[in-house]
Amino acid sequence: MPDEVNIDELLELDTDEERARKLQGILRSCGNSTEDFVRELLLKLRGLQKQQALQQPSPDEQELQDHA
pLDDT tens per residue across all 68 residues of the chain: 567 888 889 999 999 999 999 999 888 888 788 899 899 989 988 877 766 655 555 566 656 666 65
Given phi > 0 = left and psi -120 to 50 = alpha, else beta, which region is 45? alpha
Reduced to 3 states (helix: H, G, I; strand: E, B; else coil), residue 65 is helix
Task: State the Cα–Cα distance between residues 38 and 21, nearest whole angstrom.
Answer: 9
Instruction: Report yes or no on whether pTM surpasses 0.95.
Output: no
How far apart, in Å, are the Cα atoms of 36 and each of 19, 33, 39, 64? 14, 8, 5, 51
